[in-house]
Structure 1
């Protein structure tokens, strides 16, 4: 018994000694890592003192050997009630590869960590199982030696600045089940060797610059559950072998240059193929994807009629088919999609009549805009949908006045788009009762009279688009109406192509500092530009063209330093262009043509970068890009 006790004590002493004295290679690797960091906002590295590295913050060691097993220094720290995002400024020292017993390295989300992934990482860290370097500023290639990490199970280097081609050696990581390379600057083709990763469950390569085809043998990754290749430049046909991925539930191939035909693995729950060059029709077999919850096929060249089998997608909650070439009538079977929350069929060639879809009691958004429906009137069954809050019926051939039944919908309307129709009459006073309204678009109709004062009751209104009607009223009175909104309310106002009039300099536009887009062009406004226009601190686009405005351009306009678009053409502005306009550094589009401006155009960017057409029609103007001024 005494002998066993002595052996136990000796073992404990041995372990204690190992823990107190950090292995020389580990000590050098960790201290070199610390030396390469100039700032650590978490304060963890400041506690790395002495030689007992196993007791340092974020470091764990093997009990038997005392070697460093884990480095856990993630940027996101959630130990207290308030999560903390820490940073490490500096670079990743290649000496970290001296820790040849390490199994887990987590340096994800440190934001300021730069440098490169060590070239020989795969030759030295043969025990590595998990490598998290995501969310930093790492640059350079993914080293070819990465393929030597035969025990690696998870590789997450997403959201960095890594570049170059992917090494074919990736296909040697036979233990890998999670691969995240998204949000970098990788280019070239996806190596065929990647299809050797038979244990892969998740593969995310989105938002890079990959070109070429999706590997033909992608269907051999039988354990794959999530595949995201979106936002690249991939081309060619979607591989037929994709249909063999019986475990695949998430497939994102959107925003590439892929072509059809449409092919679908059987267990899909989330599908994104939007923004490609897919053509042909949706096959009836699409209705067999009984697990499908969200599907986006928008922005393609798909055509033909929508198959009635779509009504069998009992789990479907979101369906985006917009910006295609679908034709024919909408199948009545759409009324069976009881879980549907969002339906977007806009920008197609679907014709009427519409089937009654009043059974869709969970639907919140319907967009049927810009089809060939020729509805004549807004279907009254829309007002019976218990959850509907966003309604898009632009360009649907609707005639007459805005129907009063819209004020009595079961669910408060948040977005209403009736633009490009044949609406007549005035904007009703009851519009103010739609107190949840966020976006109101009534443009390109034949609406008349003034904007009702009740619109100020729409305290949540952010988007007001009434352009191209026959609306009237004094601009001063209109902006008094808009002053009834909260200061952080309206961000988008388009009242262009109407018959508004009045002295613009009597308007205090600065009362709406949240405005980002303001278009009052093609009206009958006159007078000066108000000095308060400089108070539009958030404005990005200002269009006052084709009015009767005049006098000097106010120097105060330079305070609107977020401006990207400024259109003042076809007015009667006089005097010189203020030199302060050179401070409008974000200006990308400028048009001051056809006014009465004189003098030399202030020299320098951005004014000198615009074409001659931006200044033409001002006989007194000279200087670059116009002819030189005469001495």
Structure 2
């Protein structure tokens, strides 16, 4: 059989194989070299996938997809998150990305996202040799360095996901050449410099997210030319200047994030009805925006979630606010907004959350708010409402469960109608008001209550026995009142409240005098416990050692005495321990050296004696942490006498 006949037979065999759906399994030498170089650059692969890359038939390797007709590699799918029939786990690949990956000239998808140990840089020539690349996922790795300028040479690139790395440098101007790009994600990196004007050329872009970087300069007006944009997130950067008027041209944008920047100037909302008509999510919070909320804000009829919090906005809310009938969440906190809440707010039938706290809003509240039957969270805290009393129609709002009325000038006793609300109360914050009288026992009937904050009022009485019914309570803040009696109800393992659900307890600045012996009885998940500035007497029980979730323990300015219990050393999560201004005696337990997370310690003005245990963290604290204990010695105090 001559050579020509051999070629014909070989060709017929190839055709036959293709006709049956078979593929030529052996990879080209270039592609084998590229894949093996990638494998050799990885020192550790917890998924075990690369260990199966053996032989010449790379199209059969796990994570590799080839074209049936040409047997050229078209996909590398090795994401960090791997789903099984029963679980989802994250694998690791520790090592560097090999530049030889650019030899895969037919590649369309590279997915190495979520491989937390993958480091190195993006190959500088990535844009010069991969003309068919459509999706590049390198997010959630440990990559560093810049984005190569050559990346703008990828004409078919549709998705570029480089978020959550350590990439730095500026965003290349060449990215404006990626006319097919639809998703561009760079958030949570270390990029600096300006947003390139060329981004306006990305007319097919649906999502641009660069939050959590160090970008500076103005938002380029060309951003308004990205007509297809649905999500824009420029938050948590160092952007400055005004929001360009061109943003009002984004007629199909559905998400706009500009929060956490240093933007200045007014918000240039559209001047007539119909512009930005598809805008669904608007987030401009955490900037330095000034001026009024424009009247035309009421024309953005598709808005569902809006956050303008933490700016310097002023003036009254637009009277046509009620036009936003699709609105579900409205965050306006921490501005300088004034005047009254407009009556049109009652038309927002879909509103679930309304937060206008920390402004200059005046009373009275419009009764039209009672029409907000879907409202679940209402935060009016720290305004100039001077309510004197809470309107009774609040109790008729059928969905209201989270009530924040701190600093609203409320007087008198806690209103009884809270026990008959149509929706079970989960959060009740009436702090920093002028409330007086006793804590009513009916609060114990609010059996879905998670947070109760009555601090900084003029309440007096014991903690009612009915509190033991509050089995879901996680936050109890009663500080700065005139409460008396025992704290035992909070901790008693048999008769205490919450069945261990409390995470935050602040009873400081009251006149409690007993119950210290019950600490740790039934509460093992407490993270903050502040009983300072009371009249508590007695000794700390050993049961306090059960509070091994504690981050902050403050028992200062009481009448507590006896030795410091050794079991305090079990509280290894402690970051702050304040026991000053008591009558503690004896030595500092040697086990305190195990409190390695301790950042603040104050044992001053007690009757402690002996040598301070030598070692970290105790020797790192200043003298003031131990002063006023005449018998103490050793670093950082004076050396002990032999």
The TM-score with structure 2 as length reference comes to 0.92
Indicate if the aligned counterparts of 1:260 and 1:278 stay in contact, CA closer than 8 A. yes
Partner of 1:12: 16
Partner of 2:629: 618
Instruction: State the aligned residue count.
Output: 627
SS at match of 1:509: coil
Tell me whether 1:502 sits opposite 2:514 in the alignment. Answer: yes
| 1:100-115 equivalent positions in 2, closer than 5 A | 100-115=105-120
What is the CA-CA distance between 1:623 and the residue it aligns to? 4.3
Cα distance in 2, alignment partners of residues 585 and 187 from structure 1: 36
211-220 or 593-602, larger mean C-alpha shift? 593-602
What is the CA-CA distance between 1:274 and the residue it aligns to? 1.2
What is the CA-CA distance between 1:516 and the residue it aligns to? 0.4
Cα distance in 2, alignment partners of residues 549 and 474 from structure 1: 14
Partner of 1:437: 449
Cα distance in 2, alignment partners of residues 6 and 171 from structure 1: 47
Cα distance in 1, alignment partners of residues 22 and 632 from structure 2: 84
Partner of 1:138: 143
Flag structure 2 segments of 5+ consecutive residues without an equivalent: 1-7, 271-275
Partner of 1:71: 76
| 1:369-448 equivalent positions in 2, closer than 5 A | 369-448=381-460
Partner of 2:55: 50
| Counterparts in 2 of 1:606 and 1:211: CA distance versus 1, 3 Å | farther
Partner of 2:463: 451
Partner of 2:95: 90
Partner of 1:249: 254
| Counterparts in 2 of 1:488 and 1:48: CA distance versus 1, 3 Å | farther
Tell me whether 1:307 sits opposite 2:311 in the alignment. Answer: no
240-249 or 537-546, larger mean C-alpha shift? 240-249
1:385-433 deviation digits (Å, cap 9, x = unpaired): 0111001111112222222211111110000011112222222222121
| Counterparts in 2 of 1:337 and 1:448: CA distance versus 1, 3 Å | same
1:510-542 deviation digits (Å, cap 9, x = unpaired): 531110011101111122222222221111111
Tell me whether 1:126 sits opposite 2:131 in the alignment. Answer: yes
Partner of 2:188: 183
Q: Cα RMSD between the aligned structures?
A: 2.4
What is the CA-CA distance between 1:176 and the residue it aligns to? 1.7
1:469-514 deviation digits (Å, cap 9, x = unpaired): 111112335432895345540000011111111263x224253111
| 1:186-585 equivalent positions in 2, closer than 5 A | 186-264=191-269, 266-267=276-277, 268-356=279-367, 357-480=369-492, 484-502=496-514, 504=516, 506-585=517-596
SS at match of 2:458: coil
Of 160, 164, 172 in structure 2, the residue corresponding to residue 159 of structure 1 is 164
Cα distance in 2, alignment partners of residues 482 and 498 from structure 1: 25
Partner of 1:30: 35
456-465 or 417-426, larger mean C-alpha shift? 417-426
Indicate if the aligned counterparts of 2:561 and 2:583 stay in contact, CA closer than 8 A. yes
Partner of 2:273: none
Indicate if the aligned counterparts of 2:30 and 2:104 stay in contact, CA closer than 8 A. yes
1:232-278 deviation digits (Å, cap 9, x = unpaired): 22222222222222221211111111112012462321111111111
Indicate if the aligned counterparts of 1:483 and 1:512 stay in contact, CA closer than 8 A. no
What is the CA-CA distance between 1:109 and the residue it aligns to? 1.9
What is the CA-CA distance between 1:624 and the residue it aligns to? 4.2
What is the CA-CA distance between 1:141 and the residue it aligns to? 2.3
